[in-house]
Structure 1
Amino acid sequence: MNAPIQTVQISDDSIRLGQFLKLAGLAEDGSHARELLEAGEVTVNGRPEERRGRQLTDGDVIAVAGNRARLAARQM
């Protein structure tokens, strides 16, 4: 069974993946985020992602080791 999806609100309309991993508590810090991405442990909307600078937008679901978080961005 999948863990519940945590919703993480941001005050902008997008955020970089590395920043989001830290904000959502999926990574301890920037270096941990990089390690997770390089190891192929991060997915965005169910697809593997390795780019720390990938821009995320409202509704994107990020998963790491069974933990999932949905981005809730500010609506324009």
Structure 2
Amino acid sequence: MSPNVGSIDRVIRIVAGVSLVAGAATGTIGMWGYLGILPILTGTFRYCPAYAPFGMSTCKTKANNPTRVA
């Protein structure tokens, strides 16, 4: 499993997931908020299974990075 979730995507997923779980824990948005665990996990592991079948990736690859470290 190579990473397919980039930095900005990762932050958005984790913030949204924590917000959903917090809303569910406080009773603000109901039990559906616990689905926020999914974006927390995909952001943490930097892999989204929904991206894989479509070949999508928001992660920058080494081939696209012109800087080299000697």
State the TM-score bracket (shorter-chain normalisation).
under 0.3
TM-score (norm 2): 0.26
Relative to its length, the structure with more helix (as a share) is: 2
TM-score (norm 1): 0.25
Relative to its length, the structure with more strand (as a share) is: 1
Higher Rg of the two aligned structures: 2
